[in-house]
Each structure stands twice: as C-alpha cells, then as structure tokens.
Amino acid sequence: MKASELRDKSEAELETTLLELRKEQFNLRMQKGTGQLSRPSEVKRVRKEIARIKTVMNQIKAGKAQ
C-alpha cells in the first residue's frame, strides 16, 4: 500500500491495519523459526508496510500538534 493511500485513512483504520500487520509479522517470524517460511520476501514487505504506517501516523500527529 502506498503512503498516499494511507494518508486517506483515519487514525483508527491505520491502527487496526498496523495491528494486523504486526500479527502477520509475528506469524512470519514463527514460520521462519520452524523452517516453514515459503516466501522470505514477505518478511521484508511486512516490515516496510509497518514502517510506512508508523511514518504516516507520526506525520498526522505532528500536523495536529502545530
């Protein structure tokens, strides 16, 4: 998902998306630990998505503080 698409979402939607991605990240880490991870690139994709969401959330908070 692009950052521009994330900016259109509300804070509550961003938080739920972030929670889902963190759960997915946890599941991927467990799969990696047990040797069942079929697509290692998914770990990197999820990590980047989490970073994008956190960045947009921080930008929203900074905009409200000013």
pLDDT in tens, 22-65: 999 999 999 999 999 999 999 999 999 999 999 999 999 998 76
Are 14 and 6 in contact by the 8 Å Cβ rule? The answer is: yes
Q: Are 18 and 50 in contact (CB under 8 A)?
A: yes
More confident site: 19 or 6: 19
Contact between residue 25 and residue 43 where contact means Cβ atoms under 8 Å apart = yes
3-65, which class in CATH? mainly alpha
pLDDT value for 1: 75
Average confidence (pLDDT) over 7-15: 92
State residue 55's pLDDT score. 95
Tokens 């509300």: give the residue.
10
Q: Residue 23, CB half-sphere, CA atoms under 13 Å: how many? A: 6
pTM of the model: 0.89
Tell me the C-alpha distance between 14 and 7, whole Å: 9
